[in-house]
Amino acid sequence: MSKKMQSELVAILTDLIALPSPYPPGTSVEICAYAAKRLKKAGYKVETVTKTKGVDNVVARRKGKAKGPVIAFNAHVDTVGVGERANWKSDPYKALVKGGLVYGLGAGNCKGSMAVQIWLAEEIARRGGPAKGELIFTFVADEENLGPDGMEFLRKTGKVRPDALILGAQTENNLIVAERGVMWARLTTKGRAAHAGNPAAGDNAILRMMRLVGALSSYYDKALARRVSGAMKSTVNIGMFHGGHNTNVVPSACTVEIDRRLLPNEKVKDAFKELKSVIDGVREPKGTYDVKFLTGTNGFFAPENGAAVGAFEAAVKARTGRKVKFLNATGVSDGRYYADDGIEIINFGPGAGAQGHAANESVPIASMVESAEIQMDVVKRLLSS
């Protein structure tokens, strides 16, 4: 392990941790300005892209002299909040280097990967840039919010349209190349209020909702049991259930929000139609219920024989001597916005997923160094002449 490389990575991460970027509120101006300044100095063409004031995103480009693939790296700059401050053993906004680890808010998710990517961008520039194709580094906000002001905005505006997208993630330098889609929907039921002492005079919206949710549960218990692909499963979760306003009143309204996780071959549009069909099949009176689509993105699967995936497999083997593992993703990444673009989408980076969103979050320094070395090798394999 190069001591110079190690100290450079730790220094960058130390700077990033000291630049607060929690959601809420999700402000990313200062941390994006830091990244933009460094990459401009390194010779990249840098643009700060903003849809909503205070929510900045950085796009840095460098082209080679010959034609070749467009390879984009991505890391999100926002973190979750500190949470209960008493649970932190050190200042969450001041990096603590101890026992081969760097502690601090966002150290693992996702500032460790961001530090690696900034180092990678600068090192590639020091070596003269890519020989062919185009290299893009994106540092975005609004990821923790699952919001529209970060990577989704870059995709919709055409600012970033790569052949391969490499997202920083806590994979312990293994690969996530497949991700489930997600669909959120809201069910609303209506009833008629009455005194709880005479419930027959009213129409209980919660009981109506229970009938609808019961029908969904019965349907999905059977239907989703068959929807499995390797370690991935199609799932459903009732995430929120709100109804009534007082114990002694028959509730006149109830709302439920549903999370559906979809296999890569399932589509958001079809999943919503399926849900609505089950609800309509209960045959509650017209006007007493409503089904609304909230948001959703399709899943993706990067073929394991793709050029970028192959480059990672070879680089991991060359740098570590081990065979790379393909991990199962529990959550969703910003790669979902490119799910329908037919590109390779890869999650890769230092640290373990269990460290993310936890007090005393940390990332191993050795894992950052290994991540940087592997990704440098990947860039050579894809963009060298």
For residue range 60-75, what is the model confidence (pLDDT) as tens digits?
999 999 999 999 999 9
d(CA 289, CA 263) in angstroms, rounded, equals 28
Q: 365-383 vs 112-126: helix axis angle to the nearest 10?
A: 40
Q: What is the distance between the alpha carbons of residues 287 and 257, in angstroms, rounded to a whole number?
A: 19
* pLDDT of 1: 54
Domain ranges across the chain = 3-179+299-383, 181-297
* Nearest Cα to Cα of residue 252 among 292, 199, 186: 199
**In this predicted structure, what is the pLDDT of residue 304?**
66
CA distances from 94 to 10, 16, 91, 135, 383 (A): 12, 9, 5, 31, 37
Same topology between domain 3-179+299-383 and domain 181-297:
no
Query: What pLDDT was estimated at residue 330?
Result: 85
The CATH number fitting domain 181-297, selected from 1.20.1740.10, 3.40.50.300, 1.10.1760.20, 3.30.70.360: 3.30.70.360
pLDDT reported for residue 356: 82
The predicted-structure confidence for 11-62, as pLDDT tens digits, reads as follows 999 999 999 999 999 999 999 999 999 999 999 999 999 999 999 999 999 9
Q: What pLDDT digit, counting tens, does each position of 119-177 carry?
A: 999 999 999 999 999 999 999 999 998 899 999 999 999 999 999 999 999 999 999 99
pTM of the model: 0.91
- Nearest CA to 336 among 264, 236, 275, 257? 264
Q: Is the dihedral of CA 108, 114, 119, 121 positive or negative?
A: positive
Split at pLDDT 50, 70, 90, the class of 272 is very high
Q: Is the pLDDT assigned to residue 254 strictly greater than 80?
A: yes
The one-letter code for the residue type at 350 is P
The pLDDT of residue 2: 83
One-letter amino acid identity for 270? D
What is the reported pLDDT for 297? Answer: 93
The amino acid occupying position 156 is K
Q: Is the peptide bond before 24 cis (omega within 30 degrees of 0)?
A: yes
Over residues 79-98, the pLDDT tens digits come to 999 999 999 999 999 999 99
The residues, any chain, with a CB within 8 Å of residue 358's CB and separated by 6 or more, are: none
Sign of CA dihedral 79, 326, 313, 315: positive
Residue with the bigger pLDDT between 208 and 356: it is 208
Contacting residues for 327 by C-beta, under 8 A, at least 6 apart: 171, 174, 175, 176
What fold is seen in the domain 3-179+299-383? Answer: Aminopeptidase (3.40.630)
